[in-house]
């Protein structure tokens, strides 16, 4: 039988192209929990032209990581909102062990903790191929200049995607171990149709009470 939770703070992890945002959004609607995407939060800051947004834009355009203190501030504000009382689906955070430790601190401050972590597992080359096939990546960077990279759409260019893959490769092993050692990590094969992956994730996680 699937486990049941009185609250469910769930982290979704996966390499670029794993479909983790799609799965996060599906889980959020089926469990009636907020979907918290750092990409969407940062994009909102960029669109509103806030000082966080102006700085974040440059970093995002390169596929690098926005500084921890910036994300930690945004996460504290967001997780403290009433709609997170029963938990949330975190998409894009944490990405490093340092962020995972910060997240534990933020949740502890709010009297909560991570109940589950799901890895949508996929070889990097398969994820990148998916991004290319979906038209999210231009295969030959050629004459494209960085200023034209849109961080508000899903258009990442080859060098940006390469950097995002590098960041994943560099940080994922330690982050996964961090959660594996605490018995929180569920690993789901992601190289399957999106509906199948979604159903496996939902079954493996189990619904929170009231969902």
Residues lying near ligand AMP in the complex (CB under 6 A) are found at 38-39, 42, 59-60, 63-66, 71, 92-95, 99, 164
Q: Rounded distance, CA 10 to CA 34, Å?
A: 11
Q: Does residue 36 contact residue 60 with C-beta atoms inside 8 Å?
A: no
- Measured from the CB atom, the residue of 51 and 82 that comes closer to ligand AMP is 51
- Measured from the CB atom, the residue of 59 and 97 that comes closer to ligand AMP is 59
- Measured from the CB atom, the residue of 151 and 201 that comes closer to ligand AMP is 151
Output the smallest distance, CB 161 to ligand AMP, in A. 9
- Measured from the CB atom, the residue of 7 and 22 that comes closer to ligand AMP is 22
Phi, psi of 146 (to 5 degrees): -60, -35
Alpha-carbon radius of gyration of the chain? 17
Residue found under tokens 């979907």: 35
Residue found under tokens 């469910």: 8
Q: Rounded distance, CA 13 to CA 90, Å?
A: 9
Strands 116-121 and 185-189: parallel
Output the smallest distance, CB 4 to ligand AMP, in A. 29
Which region, left, alpha or beta, applies to residue 210 given φ > 0 means left and ψ of -120 to 50 means alpha? Answer: left
**CB closest to ligand AMP, residue no:** 38
Output the smallest distance, CB 67 to ligand AMP, in A. 8
Output the smallest distance, CB 148 to ligand AMP, in A. 17
- Measured from the CB atom, the residue of 118 and 208 that comes closer to ligand AMP is 118
- Please spell the DSSP secondary structure of 152-183, one letter per residue: SSS-EEHHHHHHHHHHHHHHHHHHHHHHHHTT
Output the smallest distance, CB 56 to ligand AMP, in A. 7
- Measured from the CB atom, the residue of 2 and 152 that comes closer to ligand AMP is 152
Output the smallest distance, CB 93 to ligand AMP, in A. 4
């Amino acid at each position: 039988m699937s486990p049941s939770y009185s609250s469910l703070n769930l982290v979704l992890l996966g390499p670029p192209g794993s479909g983790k945002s799609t799965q996060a959004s599906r889980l959020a609607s089926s469990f009636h929990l907020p979907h918290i995407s750092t990409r969407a939060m940062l994009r909102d800051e960029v669109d509103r032209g806030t000082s966080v947004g102006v700085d974040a834009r440059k970093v995002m355009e390169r596929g690098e990581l926005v500084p921890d203190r910036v994300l930690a501030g945004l996460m504290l504000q967001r997780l403290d909102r009433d709609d997170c009382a029963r938990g949330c689906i975190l998409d894009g955070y944490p990405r490093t062990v340092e962020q995972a430790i910060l997240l534990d601190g933020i949740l502890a401050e709010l009297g909560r903790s991570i109940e589950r972590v799901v890895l949508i597992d996929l070889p990097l080359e398969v994820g990148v191929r998916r991004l290319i096939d979906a038209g999210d990546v231009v295969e030959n960077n050629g004459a494209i200049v960085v200023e034209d990279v849109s961080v508000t759409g899903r258009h990442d260019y080859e060098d940006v995607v390469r950097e995002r893959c590098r960041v994943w490769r560099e940080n994922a092993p330690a982050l996964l171990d961090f959660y594996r050692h605490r018995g929180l990590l569920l690993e789901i094969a992601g190289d399957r149709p999106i509906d199948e992956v979604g159903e496996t994730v939902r079954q493996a996680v189990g619904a929170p009470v009231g969902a």
